[in-house]
Amino acid sequence: MNRAVKHRKNEPRILIVSVRGFRLHVANCGIYEFEDLICDLESAKLYAPTQEFDLARKIYRLAKYATGSDTIASALAPFPTEVVLENEYDLLFVVCDNPWQLHRLGAIKNWQDKCRHKACYVMETWKLNFNDWRLAYEPFKNFDHIFAGTIHCVEPYSNVTGLPCSYLAPGVDTLKFCPYPNPPQRMIDVCAIGRRPAETHQSLFQYSQQNNNFFYYYDTFNNPGKLEIGNPREHRAKLIDVLQRSRYNIAAHARFDATSETGGQQEIGFRYFEGVAAGTVLVGMPPMGDVFPHYFDWEDPIIKVNLFEQDVLEVIQALNAQPETVERMRRRNVANSLRKHDWVYRWRDILATFNLAPSPAVIERENHLQQLACRIESIDMPVAC
């Protein structure tokens, strides 16, 4: 049965297309948080197909490879019409974690006519992906602008598609991650979620086995590629609980241990943004280049440690001997996250790209974030445990 997207007076102006209906990988929870915030700020409509459309996808791609035409490929591909747009939207915003998911727009009828501006946000692409000739045949030309979540792929996207492309860094819902004004006790000494160097893990693990007062929190799964969760919001809430209760957070650039996939490309991952927003002290390796200093431009956003060569325990023990310094780091991290890294700022950048005015809710949230950051910096807080 077709589901019509209804339009109420003065709203919505935004239509979001999400992969959350069929893609429940843990790495996607951050972008679903972004989508949820846009829906809250804009009363946006969200469409999340629940199937991959495998047959339609194969036919679409074969037709596109043969003809080079999106129009012909779309006409031949048997996409079921799941949504019929009856009203006009200022912006269609497609959010996906890789560039091979854009064909799902074929299930929306009239989207090219009913949406004035069209943009996609592709969270993860690596330069090696552009060696695959098929990537150029994905339906990018249906869009006006591409937002890339990996900065090293901005230029390749523009070269391949001929479209303007901008870098859109990760973000977080900083109001949810913020531990103040009543920070919980930080009972976890070191947190290492996701990928971590084996040397660092063994050092921390062995120490935790020898010292009952040292709480080391870490993942135990083997295959990050197949890690699925049941409820993205619940997973996000649990992550916030853990980080707000962690003193130190191990961080390394995205997929640092998968050079066969990345080609050595170093990118900022979500872990940096989540860790500072929750008030942890980051310990580890930022990506090389100018991007990290640009987004983390305050004093000591990370304690730089070569996790392959240095003993992270020695660094942590030295920090533990400076509780006031560490507490200042925490506060700076949280305050600067509120000022710079909330998803609302990323959304504001997207709106500005199309000369769309921010909604009153966007402006109100920005003002609240700035005021909260000032209060956190000004309150004379005791040193947290």
Confidence of residue 2 (pLDDT cuts 50, 70, 90): very low
> What pLDDT, on the 0 to 100 scale, is given for residue 385?
44
Q: How far apart are CA 297 and CA 335, in angstroms?
A: 12
Q: What is the mean pLDDT of the chain?
A: 91
Q: Given a cut of 90, is residue 188 above it in pLDDT? A: yes
pLDDT tens column, 356-383: 999 999 999 999 999 999 999 987 655 5
pLDDT tens column, 217-237: 998 876 656 678 889 999 999
> Which token pair is 27?
């790495």
Which percentage of the chain shows pLDDT scores above 90? Answer: 68
pLDDT tens column, 260-288: 888 889 999 999 999 999 999 999 999 99
What are the CA-CA distances from residue 169 to residues 95, 232, 267, 305 (Å)?
Answer: 14, 20, 10, 23
Q: Which residues contact 105 (CB under 8 A, 6 or more apart)?
A: 17, 94, 111, 139, 142
Average pLDDT over residues 165-178: 98
Helix (H, G, I), strand (E, B) or coil at 297: coil
Confidence of residue 316 (pLDDT cuts 50, 70, 90): very high
Q: How far apart are CA 78 and CA 292, in angstroms?
A: 44
Q: Which long-range contacts (CB under 8 A, 24 or more apart) does 228-234 make?
A: 228/24, 228/25, 228/26, 229/24, 229/25, 229/26, 229/29, 230/24, 232/20, 232/24, 232/28, 232/29, 232/32, 232/33, 233/32, 233/36
H or E element that contains 30: helix 29-42
Q: How far apart are CA 269 and CA 38, in angstroms?
A: 21
47 in Cβ contact with 16 (< 8 Å): yes
DSSP 8-class letter at 379 = S
> What pLDDT, on the 0 to 100 scale, is given for residue 4?
47
Q: How far apart are CA 106 and CA 75, in angstroms?
A: 9
